Structures are given as C-alpha cells and as structure tokens.
Amino acid sequence: MTTSFSLFLSRMSVLMLLLVAMGCQTRDDAVATPQTISDRILEDSQFSLFRLAMGYAGVGDALKSGNLTLFAPTDAAFQAAGLATEEAIRATPRDQLRTMLMYHVLYGRSASSAIPAGQNSVITANKAAAFVTKTTDGSIYINSAKLTQTDIAVANGYIHVIDRVLIPGTGNLLTTIQTNPNLTFLAAAIKRVGSSNPTLLATLDNVSATNPVTVFAPNDAAFKADKVYNTLAAIESANVQTLTNTLLYHVLSGVKFSTQFQSGSVATLLSGNTVTLTVAPNQLTVKGNKNSTSAFVKQADLTATNGVIHIIDQVLQP
C-alpha cells in the first residue's frame, strides 16, 4: 500500500468518525431539546388556526416560559367562532386577540386528574375569571367548552384540547348587563329594585366569583312584548316587590353554561319557584310557570366574573 493511499484512508476514517459524531450529537440534541406548549402548537395539525392566531397576536414566547396549562381550541372550534381563515384572524384587533388567547391559559401545571369534582372558579393568565367543571361522569368543561383530549404533556406544562373558543367577560354581571345595548330594559329594572333589594343588586354587582349565579336575561324586544313591563316608564312605576320577584325568577344559583343544562325543572332565586328547561340539539328553551310558550335562548354563555348570562326572548312569569 502506497504512503499516499494510506494517508487518504486515514483522512477518510477521521472524516467518517467526525460525521458519525456529529450525527449522534444532532440526534442527542433533538431528543434533549424540550418541547414547549408553543412547539406543540406549531407542529400539531389540529391547531393550525390557533398557530396563526398565536403568531399574529405575538403570544408564542409567553407560551414557552414558566409552568402553564393551555386549553387549546381545535380548528373546528375556531371555525365555529367565525375565525376560519387567516384573514378573519388578522381582522381581529391584535390586543383583543391576545387577550382572548391568554384567556385560554392558566398559570401552573394542571393535569386533568388534579381537577376537583364540581365547579371551580379559576383566574386565567389575563386575570379574568373562568369556570372549570368536572361532572359526575368525569367529563370536564371550561366555561361552555368540553375537554375532548386531556393531558398532552410538554416541558412547561399541559395542553388540554377543547371544542370551543373561550371568550373572556368584560366585567361582572351587572356591568355586562348595563353595557349591553340589547339589555337596557333589564338594566332599568335592576336599577328600579336596587334600593329595595340590596341583596339582589349585591349578587349581580359582586366583583369576585364567590356565590356565582346564572341569569336568564330578557332582551329589550322581550320586555317590549310583555304585557306589564313594555316601556321604560312602566318599569320605573312598577310595584317594586312584584318587579323584584320577577327578576329573582330569572336567576339561578351557581353557574350553568348552555352545554351543562339538562331538560327538567330548575329552582330559581325566587323561593319555591322553578323554571322548566328543554334541551334539544342546537336549541335551549326555558319556560316560566305562567308563560304560555317557552322562551328561546338567543345568545348563550356570556361569561362574567361572577356568573354567566343567557339572553332570552321572553320575560319569564312566575
């Protein structure tokens, strides 16, 4: 064997060893690199719209650091929320989208097994209230969204897949009612009884999630069609106790989202009185004792810091 050929083989051997070492290093690095929540969103095909929203809102870095739990809506959930395309996502103000996305995040690692049974009030990463519920059959909801896949473990926490996009509330129940342009008659009725029934007012004006309630809120059209409270003047001159009883009849103790109702009678805050719920596919109705027909829920699941509102198209009669 010539000296030059031996030198060539020697150099080739060194080169091969270096390539093998580099290959091993690359594989070791790939295994060692921790996958964060952001990384999983970037690579998981069921989150393509969440990925677009995350990039546009600039929250990718926030989902990499610290111990977090993300409730991640699927593409179908984004589509149902009217965010089916990149154009629709980018049409949303960036700050509003960022607030919405961070409403899906909890600080800390929360496995599904660690969620207590019943309803639990939590504070999200954008300091808004949400309600996590574990039912008796083991199903888990956050607000009206159901967890369809749980405990995707990543380096900095967990991802739970949900079937709806969560929309954060903008205040407590009273503020939400007062600022809704379709609930001006209800706001006037609450103001009318406020001084005579401070307990009801305090319940709606509570700033925390302690003792939350569910409100069936008649819209303005419902009041205008009512035989008694069909004008603001009629509300302002109404018998206070009768009006108070009517309002209490629209409130349930605890938080009930549309996805958690079952058909049947439910007690209201008006002692001894119930309303009748009927749950059908894509439809929820509620009937008062003296109503001849059921009221339809026209807009469900308006989340507030101290409860939830379902807007209905009739005033319920106890």
Q: The domain at 173-312 falls in which architecture?
A: Roll (2.30)
Q: Check residue 127 and give its pLDDT.
A: 92
Q: Check residue 195 and give its pLDDT.
A: 83
Whether the CB-CB separation of 208 and 305 falls below 8 Å is answered with yes
- Beta-bridge mates of residue 182: none
Q: Check residue 266 and give its pLDDT.
A: 98
Quick: pLDDT tens for 58-99: 999 999 989 999 999 999 999 999 999 999 999 999 999 999
What's this model's pTM, rounded to 2 decimal places?
0.85
- Beta-bridge mates of residue 133: 119, 141
Q: Give the Å distances, CA to CA, from 216 to 74, 282, 286.
A: 29, 17, 9
**Per-domain residue ranges of the chain:** 37-162, 173-312
d(CA 4, CA 96): 70
Q: Do domains 37-162 and 173-312 have the same CATH topology?
A: yes
Whether the CB-CB separation of 213 and 246 falls below 8 Å is answered with no
Q: Check residue 65 and give its pLDDT.
A: 87
Q: Check residue 33 and give its pLDDT.
A: 64
Which residues of the chain have a pLDDT value below 70?
1-33
CATH T-level fold of 37-162: FAS1 domain (2.30.180)
The two structure tokens encoding residue 162: 């949900």
Order of strands, sheet of 105-107, starting from the edge strand that comes earlier in the sequence: 105-107, 68-73, 157-162, 145-154, 140-142, 129-134, 118-123
* Average pLDDT over the chain, rounded to an integer: 91
